[in-house]
Amino acid sequence: MAQITLKNLAHSYFPNPTRDQDFALKEMDHVWQDGGAYALLGSSGCGKTTLLNIISGLLRPSQGRVLFGDRDVTDAPTAERNIAQVFQFPVVYDTMTVRDNLAFPLRNRGMDAAYIAARVDQIARMIGMEEILSRKAKGLTADAKQKISLGRGMVREDVNAILFDEPLTVIDPHMKWELRTQLKRLHREFGHTMIYVTHDQTEALTFADKVVIMYDGRVVQMGTPEELFETPAHTFVGYFIGSPGMNLMEAQVEGDTARLASGMTVPLGAQYGRPAGRVQIGIRPEYAMLTAGEGLPVTIRRVEDVGRHRLVRAEVLGAPLNVVVPEGMPVGAELTHVRFAPQKISVYADDWRIAPQGRAA
Amino acid sequence: MDKIQNNKAWFLVLPVLVLVAFSAIIPLMTVVNYSVNDTFGNNEFFWAGLEWFEEMVTSSRLHDALGRQILFSGIILAIEVPLGIFIALNMPKSGFWASFCLVLMALPLLIPFNVVGTIWQIFGRVDIGLLGHTLAALGIDYNYTNDPLDAWITVIVMDVWHWTSLVALLCYAGLQSIAQAYYQAAKIDQASRWAVFRYIELPKMQGVLLIAVLLRFMDSFMIYTEPFVVTGGGPGNATTFLSIDLVKMAVGQFDLGPAAAFSIMYFLVILLVSWVFYTVMTNLDKAEGQ
């Protein structure tokens, strides 16, 4: 097992990339701790699979280095990197039995037969497949096949990291929970570094200790689920994490006050100086409150009951705004205004979050 | 709700029934008619019962032709199937050369059978044919018109040239459907090239291979035109396969009764063997799924 370091890494599918948009992966520097559970989260085409393939060695980056521990593996072929990968669609060797599937990577490495048998039994116990070891892999369900792929990865003791490329795509919803829980348990017990690619925020937030959000070939934020929720570093994170995402409003910020398009002001929780560029303020729907007179005037369009709470789709100064209203609180005609919790407002200049300079006076 | 019972729906099957009757059943019945009668023309028939069938079953001429036929089909399958797989594995997967190879491979399949025969008939001639003349110039004693082995080699090489493409194209289609992830997983598992073929490519090609083997078996078992044009069944009877013998019997000797009995047995043999092939291979598939 090893810590994974990405040094000045960038990748382009063009032979001679010149412009920024030629790069599928923009330059990045990251260290992935040994034994961590990471999720790579982003919408389709943001470069997360490219990054995964670079780590697994299926793709050579156009620039930068990949280090496993102290060893530079940028040019090392996949087989030498000792990584395991679980793919989107279950990859099992159909004609082999489950046992042979699990033994396959060890046999290819010329391991001793007695060791292989013992190791396969051990892995089968871990993934709960002792019962069906002698069955052919062909007729199994998708989730069983995914478990076999996972087992085939873990069967090697020297495995550096296990990579998951949207592994639950073809799994039935009720099995997703179970598999994810099992995965978490295996991670806690055996401490493999796990990197999990997905575009489903629930999967990412429940699985990972650290979630890496990618947008347009860039890692925009790497943090715990709480950090992503409370202090999104980029407007994309605000929009992508949360259901619904963060409300964003064009504003001019000066000190601890944001002035909206109509001239109305919103108090902020800290001093922000006078940021330049395109300035926006962001507030999570959970931190906006409907009031009877305090705050900004609001027009309520629709109320959706989603069970635990209700979601109010509204409009403020011509821009859409979502507000989460706790269950039990009546939404009546007297609620004509909306107030934002000042400490929970984030300020963005050209989509990137600005760190507050100090407490508001 | 009550289910509507209306047996008139059976009438909907009628058009198909009529079509099949005219295209297959009635012609087949005339053959059956010939096979149990003796005729000297003029539509005069004398009942012969199973006499022709008995004659054919015990005929050494038929036995020999059947032996040659089985040998021919066996050799054809043994060469074309592995060769087709090998070619498919080595064809480019995409880009200009992939299209180029596909067109190149499809070409022999588009040539009419008797033209293929004519091409090889001339190609192999010692006096003017490129192949025959070159071999002769190299000092190799090659003459398909009077050496049975040379005749066999020519007919087999011709069939391989004509039909390997079919196997290759079917396998190629099978290979193209394998997701890239399988190859990536194999790399991660450090699988050898042979293991990739044995455990990934071959199982995925199984379906198309079944079709390829079945088509090549049926076609080669019924082969007529190409060897007829090249060797005319000779030298002697060396390349007289079942179809060629059948035509000789029916058209050459006008032995319609025996020829009809022969036809029916021929048809049943092909049907039986194809059915056995199909059942065995699909059962194999099912057994693996258990």
Instruction: Report pLDDT digits (tens) over A57-87.
Output: 888 888 888 888 888 888 888 878 888 888 8
Within 10 A of A14 (CB to CB), how many other CB atoms are there? Answer: 11
Assess whether pLDDT exceeds 80 at residue B41.
no
CB < 8 Å from B in window 150-209 of A: 152-153
Residues of A in contact with B185 (CB under 8 A): 85, 87, 91, 149, 152
Q: Comparing B279 with B83, which gets the higher pLDDT? A: B83
Put simply, whether A97 touches B (Cβ < 8 Å) is no
For residues A216-240, average pLDDT: 88
Assess whether pLDDT exceeds 70 at residue B290.
no
Put simply, whether A79 touches B (Cβ < 8 Å) is yes
Q: Which residue carries 């709960």 as its tokens?
A: A128
Residues of B in contact with A77 (CB under 8 A): 187
Instruction: Report DSSP state, residue A36.
Output: -
Put simply, whether A82 touches B (Cβ < 8 Å) is no
Q: Please say whether the beta carbons of A8 and A29 come within 8 A.
A: yes
Q: Please say whether the beta carbons of B249 and B259 come within 8 A.
A: yes
Q: Please say whether the beta carbons of B244 and B224 come within 8 A.
A: yes
A87–chain B nearest CA distance, Å? 7
- What pLDDT score does B81 carry? 94
- Contact criterion met (CB < 8 Å) for A85 and B185: yes
For residues B122-133, average pLDDT: 87
Record: fold of A4-235: Rossmann fold (3.40.50)
What are the tens digits of pLDDT across the range A10-62?
888 887 777 777 788 888 888 888 888 888 888 877 888 888 888 888 888 88
- Contact criterion met (CB < 8 Å) for B189 and A88: no
What does the alpha-carbon distance between residue B216 and residue B214 come to, in Å, rounded to a whole number?
Answer: 6
- Contact criterion met (CB < 8 Å) for B185 and A91: yes
- What pLDDT score does B75 carry? 95
pTM: 0.74
What residue in A sits closest to B285 (Cα-Cα)? Answer: A95
User: Which of A325-329, B145-149, B150-154 is modeled with the greatest confidence?
Assistant: B150-154
User: Which of A159-173, A285-299, B98-112 is modeled with the greatest confidence?
Assistant: B98-112
Within 10 A of A299 (CB to CB), how many other CB atoms are there? Answer: 11
At A75, the amino acid letter reads: D
Assess whether pLDDT exceeds 80 at residue B64.
yes
Residues of B in contact with A85 (CB under 8 A): 184-185, 188
- What pLDDT score does A359 carry? 58
- Contact criterion met (CB < 8 Å) for B185 and A58: no
For residues A283-304, average pLDDT: 86
3-state secondary structure of A5: strand
Is this complex's ipTM strictly greater than 0.95?
no
Question: Over pLDDT 90: what percentage of chain A?
Answer: 0
Q: Comparing B90 with B258, which gets the higher pLDDT? A: B90
Assess whether pLDDT exceeds 80 at residue A124.
yes
Parse chain A into domains and list their residue ranges: 4-235, 243-359
- What pLDDT score does B88 carry? 92
B103–chain A nearest CA distance, Å? 30
DSSP E strand boundaries for A83-240: 83-86, 161-165, 193-198, 210-215, 218-223
Residue A358: which pLDDT band, with cuts at 50, 70 and 90? Answer: low
- What pLDDT score does B83 carry? 95
Q: At what angle do helices B202-221 and B256-289 cross, to 10 degrees?
A: 170
Q: What is the CATH number that goes with domain A243-359?
A: 2.40.50.140
Assess whether pLDDT exceeds 90 at residue B72.
yes
B88–chain A nearest CA distance, Å? 21
Residue of B179, B191, B200 with shortest CB distance to A89: B179
Q: Which residue carries 């994810």 as its tokens?
A: A180
Assess whether pLDDT exceeds 60 at residue B170.
yes
Residue B103: which pLDDT band, with cuts at 50, 70 and 90? Answer: very high
- Contact criterion met (CB < 8 Å) for A96 and B182: no
- What pLDDT score does B82 carry? 94
Residue of A79, A88, A139 with shortest CB distance to B188: A79
Domains of chain B from N-terminus onward: 61-289 (1.10.3720.10)
